[in-house]
A and B are shown apart, each in its own frame.
Chain A
Amino acid sequence: MTFLNKSRFHHPQLAPNALGLTRRDYEGAISTLCAGCGHDSISAAIIQACFELDLPPHRIAKLSGIGCSSKTPTYFLGAAHGFNSVHGRMPSVLTGANLANRDLVYLGVSGDGDSASIGLGQFAHSIRRGVNMTYIVENNGVYGLTKGQFSATSDKGSKAKKGTINTDEPIDMVAMALQLGATFVGRSFSGDKAQLVPLIKAALRHPGAAFIDCISPCVAFNNHEGSTKSFDFVRAHNEAVNRLDVILGRDHIEAEYEPGTAIEVTQHDGTVLRLRKLAEEHDPTDRVSAMNHLQERKAAGEIVTGLIFVDPEPEELHDHLGTIAGPLNALGDADLCPGAAALEKVNAALR
């Protein structure tokens, strides 16, 4: 197979966003993943989030590694440049791209095989450097393209399609991201679009390292009885810590909530994140509280989802490096080359 042409026709009444673009303008090529794959729901959520945020699609750079998840950037934001890089190495390629031009929006898409095994190091270091990006792991606990091996996020005791029981401890990337200093950490479920879309929107507007672990059942190899990453299991154990509304600066804030039932976090660009609390003891702006809550609920057998932690005043890599405000790739000869006279001085100092 080569590629499938996708029709550009759309319903004449399809509503445009502030840029005059329709949802259709945020789509990509036709997905070649299995019918019902959780990853396609995540692609749809990314499309919805970018459309609702009025992001110009071509100002987004989408990068991925290798695997089912890493194929998905072809299926959304067709007007954006994409880079299908090397297994587990998306974070370094994204970091380099971000160094070159800090003005684009960087979206890294990876999987649990890509990020929790071969790419665990690059995941960790990109988070601790504070690269300004939205890093989504489409987590299905299984290697799909190579047909059903356990991944490093498979839960201990989870059963493979062929019956093997996983005996290794799972890597919890949310816990790692919290520990590594991510300034935005969320977890969601591909089957809960109402939760996922606002989370992606908030992450895209977050000026720092934003990490989202999105559980995304593999309908082909990990959706059976005994799997802890199946639709049924995740639905039964999903414990949302909050409901998130992303309120853009231009929007009118309407609803009022009882004191103590909602908190509002204003991001640097004026975006308000309103979090309706569902878990009493969890404070999403307190890293230690978030880590404690995550571990407690995990011990109780629950999967904590929602916006688990957000730092309203994050720093990012360019702040640490002290680079200029504009993109480095726009600098010309006069900005970069010190010239012959300066070189003569260098020569003189070397004699």
Chain B
Amino acid sequence: MALTATNDFVVKFANVNGSGSASANQLFAKSILRMGIPIASRNIFPSNIQGLPTWFEVRVSGAGHLGRRGGVDLMVAMNPQTWDRDVAEIEPGGYLFYDSTRPIPQSRFRQDITVIGVPLTAMCNEAYDDPRQRQLFKNIIYVGALSALLDMDPEAPAQLIREQFRAKEKLIQPNLDALKMGRDWAMANLSCPLGLTLARMDAVGDRIFTDGNSAAALGAVYGGATVCAWYPITPSTSLAEGYERYARKFRTNPDGTKRYAIVQAEDELASIGMVIGAGWNGARAFTATSGPGISLMGEFVGLAYFAEIPAVIFDVQRAGPSTGMPTRTQQSDVLAAAYASHGDTKHVVLLPEDPHECFIMGADAFDLADRLQTPIFVLLDLDIGMNDWLCEPFHWDDARRMDRGKVMTAEELEEGKTFGRYLDVDGDGIPFRTWPGTHPTKGSFFTRGTSRDRYARYTEEGAAYVDNMQRLLRKFDTAKQIVPRPVETHAKQPTPLGVIFYGSTSAAMREALEALEADGIHLDALRVRAFPFHDDVLDFVRRHERVFLVEQNRDAQLRTLVVNEGEIDPSRIVPVLHYDGTPITARFIRAAIADRASATNVIPLSRMGAAE
């Protein structure tokens, strides 16, 4: 029985890396959005530039579910190398679309799926002489054929092509022709549409479609960052590149000079060193990296914590370790970031859920860094960072001004205001600082990690050390009040069950909550957005008999933080863990929670969820 669905199915494209398929796939995805139908798209790619297999998954969801669903309803199999596993992945009753130019033996197909062959290579060879054109237009032709098979409004991709090539007008017609060639062939030779169809709706609204790395980079531009020092590392590279793109656009003077500086450093140590030097000297500075970079930056991050220097570190998390799975997603740097470095250190960590929040936190991080005079980590992951997400549009309030924190000016020094670099004048643990070069005779100080008193004078006295450490704790308490608060959603009826989640798990979690509610399992839900935890987080745990904590790592890292920082009985928090490198799915969360919520017996705590 062939699958039938309207606006609710998954299409997966199996391609060869470097074959030009990405832009065609993007065209397919955006065309659906232009029909007002929500989609979620994800690249699944290897650590490779050309030749290895790569996949692009589009989840069409009229209901607006943006997490990964799992399973494939229509496979566009363009890579002979992965044919067998691609065919095997199709749901029973699903569809297989392939290039039928060369015959493929019957044994390589399945009986329980619908097979659609289009002679793409033959069509290209006939229409084009240039080998590169044959390659590129083949991709557009399959989009054309799919538009007929799925009943896509043909004007949607046509309009996108016209917009995309506005500056290179002579490319418009050939692309439109290729699109039409595919569509016409399918209409003439296949029974269109399939059981899977698209129907125009109005469920996208004014939402935008973008990736978290670009959004965070744009946030850094809006947040006033002027110095970016970075070292290339997947999956964070496009964040630094995004900053360069937006900064060039928005911060170039008419004479060509730039109101920003970007240095590609020799390594992550130099990157964070430059960020700290710039922060010390009054510029808003950041770096973008991933887990291995965080490890390398450890010593410097500790110095910045003790010397109280503003810095912003975007960590786009991936599966560990350095020679690990750089192109796979995880939330496995939570502890590494929160407790980065040696000595007693704790850091502010922000946890955006999607590109919209990457923009907000990308800007807010700089205010927090200046206000708190400390490094701020913004933890994205590959799934949010490198995939395009449908999210709320960016907003900016023109009345907003940068909060540069407590910086004593030359005028204040001249007036005789007391300056002690590590003097807690306001009781919030945050001292005043001065920027180098401020005043000829007042306000200079020598920056060290510790071994100094409240006036930055050298001392190795134990009492002065303790005094400073206590003040740093007061400062962390202040941080708790000003970092983004958690967001709670209540179940439709009172329930003793709660669930905590964060970051890119959000989309799958929302979908899972709906499904669980339909199953009769009611959960209050709390999305944590920052560390240190606001009292609301610990209060949420105390208000519920049992709390699930869903995260994408093996060791339940956020749970460890909650238990440790809140001094909470570990048995109250049940971990639900997904860490195979693919984005977490609603199906996974639903099954894991349903299983445990309905069980009345005692739940073994060790390795819960790890066996999925």
Contacts and interface: CB of A to CB of B under 8 A. Distances in A.
A324 B458 contact: no
B234 interface: no
Interface residues on B, range: 35 or more
Interface string A45-89: 000000000001111010100000000011000111111111001
Interface stretch (A34-42, A173-181, A336-344): A336-344
A100 B446 contact: no
A92 B274 contact: yes
Q: Which of A58, A63, A318 has the most CB of B within 10 A?
A: A58
Contacts of A79: 440-441, 444
Contact of A61 (B224, B271, B273, B436): B436
A81 B439 CA distance: 10
A125 B282 contact: no
B448 interface: yes
A121 interface: yes
Contacts of A257: none
A100 B227 CA distance: 7
B303 interface: yes
A328 B285 CA distance: 11
B300 A333 contact: no
B436 A80 contact: yes
Nearest to A87: B299
Contacts, number: 233
B99 to A, nearest CB: 32
Contacts of B271: 92
Contacts of A322: 256-258
B285 A100 contact: yes
A167 B231 CA distance: 36
B83 interface: no
B283 A321 contact: no
A94 B273 CA distance: 8
Given A101-B283, A328-B227, A339 B258 contact: no
A93 B449 CA distance: 14
A86 B300 contact: yes
B539 interface: no
B574 to A, nearest CB: 38
Nearest to A56: B440
Given A97-B280, A339-B398, A328 B226 contact: yes
B402 A333 contact: yes
Interface stretch (B73-81, B187-195, B262-270): B262-270
Contact of A104 (B206, B265, B436): B436
Contacts of B131: none
Contacts of B226: 100, 328-329, 331, 336
B446 A84 contact: yes
B260 interface: yes
B448 A329 contact: no
A277 interface: no
B118 interface: no
A188 B402 CA distance: 47
Nearest to B229: A96
A99 B280 CA distance: 11
Contacts of B285: 96, 99-100
A337 B251 CA distance: 9
A351 interface: yes
Nearest to B163: A349
A325 interface: yes
The list of the 7 closest CB pairs from A to B, nearest first, reads A96-B277, A92-B273, A100-B283, A96-B274, A81-B436, A329-B282, A100-B281
